[in-house]
Amino acid sequence: MEASKVIHAIYTDDDVLMSAVKKVKAENHHIEEIYTPFPVHGLDKAMGLAPTRIAITSFMYGCVGLTVAIVMMNFIMIKDWPQDIGGKPSFSYLENMPAFVPIMFELTVFFAAHLMVITFYLRSRMWPFKKAENPDPRTTDDHFLMEVTVHNNESELTSLLKDTGAVEINIVDKEEDAH
């Protein structure tokens, strides 16, 4: 397999990049990855990436947090030791619920927020001491890089990418175990 060879096309303008992505997609080439220094609006749509489901996970984490809060306080305040504290009715959870709402709310938000962030880190493989996957350091400053896989069509791809306004085109041997 020659999938280990990729083309790196470098752009200096996000508008040029966007039209390049559309052109490359129209020619039915597979875009491996795009590196940009900042979020480019609409890039995910142009690349045809599936929408994120992180909001759904967050909702579910929130439900977990709410459940934890309810079960915890029901056990502590109602079941385990239903003490009379300042006349608050601890006969059932519902009767004393208003007093628990601030904690229910905060734990819902806490779980939804933190677990979602951790999910994000896991899914995007980010952690301290991780080796940066950056093919070209300029892509963190002012350059945009499109990585396209080569399947015995080097010259065709090169001319296509040249046409789209790439300022620099490199053919790179990709090490499979780089990340």
Partner 1 sequence: MEYKISNRLKMSAIVLIVLGLLGVGYGFMDSHKVNEDNISEYLANQAHHGDHGDADNHSVASHGEESHSDAHGESVSHAEEGHGDEAHDGGHEMSHEEHVLHQIHNRPWAALYVAAFFFFMIALGVLAFYAIQYAAQAGWSPVLFRVMEGITAYVLPGALIVLLIAVASGTIGHYNLFVWMDPEVVEHDKLIQGKSGYLNLTWFVIRGIIFISGWSLYRHFSRKFSLAQDKADDNKNFKKNFRISAAFLVFYIYTESMMSWDWIMSVDPHWFSTLFGWYVFASMFVSGITVIAMISIYLKSKGLLEFVNDSHIHDLAKFMFGISIFWTYLWFSQFMLIWYSNIPEEVTYFVTRIEDYKLPFFGMLAMNFIFPLLLLMNSDYKRINWFVIMAGIVILCGHYIDVFNMIMPATVGERWFIGIPELGSILLFAGLFLWIVFTALGKAPLLAKGNPFIKESEHFHY
* 21/112 with CB nearer partner 1: 112
59 contributes a contact to partner 1 by CB under 8 A: yes
- Dihedral sign (CA 145, 146, 151, 152): negative
What are the residues whose beta carbons fall under 8 Å from the beta carbon of 27, sequence distance 6 or more? 160
Site for partner 1 contains 98 (CB under 8 A): yes
101 binds partner 1 (CB under 8 A): yes
Does 55 participate in binding partner 1 (rule CB under 8 A)?
Answer: yes
Q: Which is nearer to partner 1, 59 or 75 (CB)?
A: 59
What CA dihedral angle connects 54, 32, 167 and 18, to 10 degrees?
A: -40
Least distance (Å) from partner 1 to the CB of residue 98?
5
165 phi-psi bin (left φ>0, alpha ψ -120 to 50, beta other): left
The reply on whether position 172 binds partner 1 by CB under 8 A is no
Q: What is the DSSP letter of 133?
A: -
Distance in Å, CB of 110 to partner 1, minimum: 18
Q: In the structure encoding, which two tokens stand for residue 123, read together?
A: 């899914």
Least distance from partner 1 to the Cβ atom of residue 150, Å: 36
Q: Is 39 in the site for partner 1 (CB under 8 A)?
A: no
Q: Which of 48, 87, 128, 137 binds partner 1 (CB under 8 A)?
A: 87
With CB under 8 A as the contact rule, which of the stretches 69-77, 94-102, 115-123, 159-167 interacts with partner 1? 94-102
Give the strand order in the sheet containing 144-149.
31-35, 144-149, 5-11, 168-173
Q: Are 73 and 93 in contact (CB under 8 A)?
A: yes
Site of interaction with partner 1 (CB under 8 A): 55, 59, 87, 98-99, 101
